[in-house]
């Protein structure tokens, strides 16, 4: 919900832009921090969700660690003050350059995704006379019940190491003197709202840690990854994800042994509701069967609807607050020369006009960071609330 002053402010700003509500961001971070601190859990912010510098600075100020998936993310995390002892580095395709950068930075842990990668990290660490701390990313074959493009924990996915390869992992760990085994890592997918899924994950984590201990490895770190979803349908009435229930599942179902640390890598749930994509109607096309609202923002600014059939609330801020005497259904589309450049079909909106300001809500995660320069578009700008 935007207050009238904010809507008035939007009138004088060139669109499209991302609008960040720093108050929502802070409240979300506070809620997550309070819920995780209860159990002494460690939360790393998954930077891939949003690495806008102002957003990173605020998240860092709350004391969260960083979960990175590229050398540049590792660099940015450290530059923004996330302590190197709180940086984890995942990814199926870490390049030698990226591994070397992370070794030089002395990060907390590499989340390793293949047996071959273990040997490469060992060799690179040896060349530097260093020991790399590693966690094994295990593919637990748990169905996340989310969109198949953002499911990562099934045997058929490219991520992680499958359980039938664990003997090779154990052998590699024994053969690699420049690796220090810290623990096990999981990430089963994103936008998960069903807590039962996390219960299944806990069961698998318990089995896996027993396996490692039975084979002579001490498991110090249990990293459950991220994935907690947000309510894309009700950004104003259900703004903050249920961190309490989420962490409680792990408290209740994870078999945490003395001296063990439990880590998480949350992205979306920390930032999604804090931003909206703000654009203007360029043209209204009334057809015989369809009405189109053609916006000045498209898949180059927010690709989620086009890539994952993702739902985002769409509001006309210029008409919504005034008299609503006629509602219509519009296909809300962007200006890009692609048929898929459509935010949503048959959106109920008040009668809309050229110049109306449109908000696409819940765009703070995987929004600005996935923007592209396709069609040689200008880079989307960011605007921030005062708080």
Among 56, 74, 90, 349, binds ligand LLP (CB under 6 A): 90
Based on the shown chain and the rule CB under 6 A, indicate whether residue 187 belongs to the binding site for ligand LLP.
yes
Site for ligand LLP in 285-314 (CB under 6 A): 304, 308
**Beta carbon of residue 190, minimum distance to ligand LLP (angstroms, whole number):** 3
Q: What DSSP state is assigned to residue 359? A: E
Based on the shown chain and the rule CB under 6 A, indicate whether residue 205 belongs to the binding site for ligand LLP.
no
Among 226, 298, 305, 335, binds ligand LLP (CB under 6 A): 226
In sign, the C-alpha dihedral spanning 197, 62, 234, 275 is negative
Q: Which residues pair with 285 in a beta bridge?
A: 292
Only one of the segments 19-27, 41-49, 73-81, 127-135 lies at the binding site for ligand LLP (rule: CB under 6 A); that segment is: 41-49
d(CA 45, CA 65) in angstroms, rounded, equals 6
Based on the shown chain and the rule CB under 6 A, indicate whether residue 197 belongs to the binding site for ligand LLP.
no
Based on the shown chain and the rule CB under 6 A, indicate whether residue 160 belongs to the binding site for ligand LLP.
no
**Beta carbon of residue 369, minimum distance to ligand LLP (angstroms, whole number):** 9
Residue that has been written with the tokens 């990668």 in this structure: 117
Q: What DSSP state is assigned to residue 205? A: H
The residue among 148 and 329 lying less far from ligand LLP, judged by its C-beta, is: 148
Based on the shown chain and the rule CB under 6 A, indicate whether residue 267 belongs to the binding site for ligand LLP.
yes
Residue 40's Cα: distance from chain center in Å? 22
d(CA 376, CA 380) in angstroms, rounded, equals 12
**Beta carbon of residue 137, minimum distance to ligand LLP (angstroms, whole number):** 7
Only one of the segments 267-275, 336-344, 356-364, 374-382 lies at the binding site for ligand LLP (rule: CB under 6 A); that segment is: 267-275
Only one of the segments 1-9, 169-177, 186-194, 289-297 lies at the binding site for ligand LLP (rule: CB under 6 A); that segment is: 186-194
> What single string gives the DSSP state of each residue in 129-183?
T--EEEEEEEE------S-GGGB--STTSSSSEEGGGHHHHHHHHHH-TTEEEEE
The token duo for 73 is 């993310």
Among 113, 58, 52, smallest CA distance to 81 is for 58
**Beta carbon of residue 348, minimum distance to ligand LLP (angstroms, whole number):** 24
**Beta carbon of residue 99, minimum distance to ligand LLP (angstroms, whole number):** 16
Site for ligand LLP in 123-152 (CB under 6 A): 150
User: For the chain, where are the E strands, in sequence order?
Assistant: 17-20, 42-46, 65-68, 87-89, 109-112, 132-139, 161-162, 179-185, 221-223, 261-266, 275-286, 291-295, 314-316, 327-333, 342-350, 357-360, 381-384
Total chain residues near ligand LLP (CB under 6 A): 21
Only one of the segments 17-25, 42-50, 79-87, 175-183 lies at the binding site for ligand LLP (rule: CB under 6 A); that segment is: 42-50
Residues 6+ apart with CB under 8 A from 107: 74, 84, 87, 88, 89, 133
**Interacting residues toward ligand LLP by CB under 6 A:** 46, 48-49, 67, 90, 150, 187, 190-191, 225-228, 265-269, 304, 308, 366
């Amino acid at each position: 919900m935007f207050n009238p002053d904010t809507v008035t402010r939007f009138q004088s700003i060139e669109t499209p832009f991302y609008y960040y509500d720093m108050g929502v961001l802070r409240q979300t971070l506070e809620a997550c921090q309070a819920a995780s601190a209860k159990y002494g859990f460690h939360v790393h912010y998954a930077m891939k969700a949003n690495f806008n510098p102002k957003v990173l600075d605020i998240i860092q100020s709350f004391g969260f660690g960083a979960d990175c998936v590229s050398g540049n993310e590792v660099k940015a995390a450290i530059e923004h003050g996330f302590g190197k002892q709180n940086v984890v580095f995942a990814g199926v395709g870490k390049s030698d350059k990226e591994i070397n950068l992370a070794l030089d930075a002395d990060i907390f842990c590499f989340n390793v995704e293949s047996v071959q990668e273990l040997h490469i990290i060992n060799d690179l660490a040896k060349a530097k006379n260093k020991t790399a701390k590693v966690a094994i990313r295990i593919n637990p074959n748990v169905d996340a019940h989310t969109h198949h493009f953002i499911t990562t924990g099934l045997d058929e996915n490219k991520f992680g190491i499958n359980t039938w390869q664990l003997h090779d992992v154990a052998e590699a760990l024994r053969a690699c003197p420049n690796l220090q085994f810290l623990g096990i890592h999981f990430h089963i997918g994103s936008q998960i709202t069903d807590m039962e899924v996390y219960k299944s994950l806990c069961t698998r984590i318990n089995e896996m840690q027993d396996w490692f201990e039975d084979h002579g490895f001490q498991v110090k770190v249990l990293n459950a990854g991220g994935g907690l979803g947000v309510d894309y349908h009700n950004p104003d009435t259900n703004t903050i994800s249920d961190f309490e229930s989420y962490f409680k599942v792990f408290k209740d179902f994870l078999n945490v042994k003395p001296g063990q640390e439990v880590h998480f890598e949350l992205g979306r749930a920390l930032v999604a509701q804090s931003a909206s994509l703000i654009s203007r109607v360029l043209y209204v096309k009334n057809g015989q069967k369809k009405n189109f609202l053609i916006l000045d923002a498209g898949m180059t600014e927010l690709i989620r609807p086009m890539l994952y059939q993702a739902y985002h609330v769409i509001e006309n801020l210029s008409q919504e607050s005034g008299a609503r005497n006629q509602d219509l259904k519009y296909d809300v589309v962007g200006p890009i020369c692609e048929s898929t450049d459509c935010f949503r079909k048959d959106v109920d909106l008040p009668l809309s006009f050229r110049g109306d300001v449109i908000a696409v809500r819940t765009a703070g995660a995987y929004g600005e960071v996935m923007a592209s320069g396709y069609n040689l578009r200008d880079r989307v700008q960011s605007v921030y609330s005062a708080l």
